[in-house]
Chain A
């Protein structure tokens, strides 16, 4: 079974600062994909960033980047220059193979960005 663990239930960061959200996962698969989704209070689950496990280079999307450590099974999300609109629940998710299988989600980290 695949499991995803987010050890930080809540985090807070000041506007313009940098914050890192942690995620670890457990799998025996070699070909898999990792995602970070953002869920604001409006509930719409929005894709933030994704990483293919076979790629050594860490994914980057504007202010969002990941630190993917395959051997340690760690997949952290770094948000630079935090903005008030980044306030949301952040979910780490895992899927194995490249088919249309279901995502395995962690329990989420609630991020609050303060002025």
Chain B
């Protein structure tokens, strides 16, 4: 089966500009996650979707970040306006149940550089 697809792989923008990231999860995976990974750190959750519903967005900076998952498949994460501190890798993951555990599968990520 095809893996999680993300685009773009790299994005360089100037501060105060908008930016958007796109994710296509593995077919049939109902749960989708957006993580942010700062340099030298493990990923941290931004938002989790169950189908088209955002069920955990407590870590999403809502003043500048927004996300949507139309029709419960593809998802878009947007930042407007971007700040220098938003430079990071943005990872998308989707999950399915393997036996008794939900296993998360990650995309290749988008490396964002804000100048």
Q: Is the CB of B43 within 8 A of A103?
A: yes
| Interface-centre pick from B33, B93, B106 (highest chain A CB count, 10 A) | B106
Q: Is the CB of A43 within 8 A of B101?
A: no
Q: Is the CB of A52 within 8 A of B101?
A: yes
Q: Tell me if B56 is interfacial: C-beta within 8 Å of chain A.
A: yes
Q: What's the nearest-Cβ distance from chain B to residue A84, in Å?
A: 21
Q: Tell me if A99 is interfacial: C-beta within 8 Å of chain B.
A: yes
B interface residues, how many (CB within 8 angstroms): 29
For B89, list chain A residues within 8 Å (CB): 43
Given contacts A43-B108, A43-B109, A44-B108, contact A102 B45 (CB under 8 A): yes
- One of B40, B56, B97, B107 near A107 (C-beta < 8 A): B40
A interface residues, how many (CB within 8 angstroms): 25
The secondary structure that dominates the B interface is strand
Q: Is the CB of B48 within 8 A of A101?
A: yes
For B52, list chain A residues within 8 Å (CB): none
- One of B42, B95, B109, B111 near A93 (C-beta < 8 A): B42
For B95, list chain A residues within 8 Å (CB): 100
Q: Is the CB of A42 within 8 A of B108?
A: yes
Interface hits, A88-108 → B, CB 8 Å: 91, 93, 95, 98-103, 105-108
A50–B91 CA distance with the chains assembled, in angstroms:
20
Q: Is the CB of A107 within 8 A of B41?
A: yes
Q: Tell me if A45 is interfacial: C-beta within 8 Å of chain B.
A: yes
Contact with A along B21-46 (1 / 0, CB 8 A): 00000000011010100001111110
Interface hits, B68-102 → A, CB 8 Å: 89, 91, 93, 95, 97, 100-102
Q: What's the nearest-Cβ distance from chain A to residue B78, in Å?
A: 20
For A103, list chain B residues within 8 Å (CB): 43, 45, 104
Interface residues of B (CB under 8 A from A): 30-31, 33, 35, 40-45, 48, 50, 56, 89, 91, 93, 95, 97, 100-109, 111
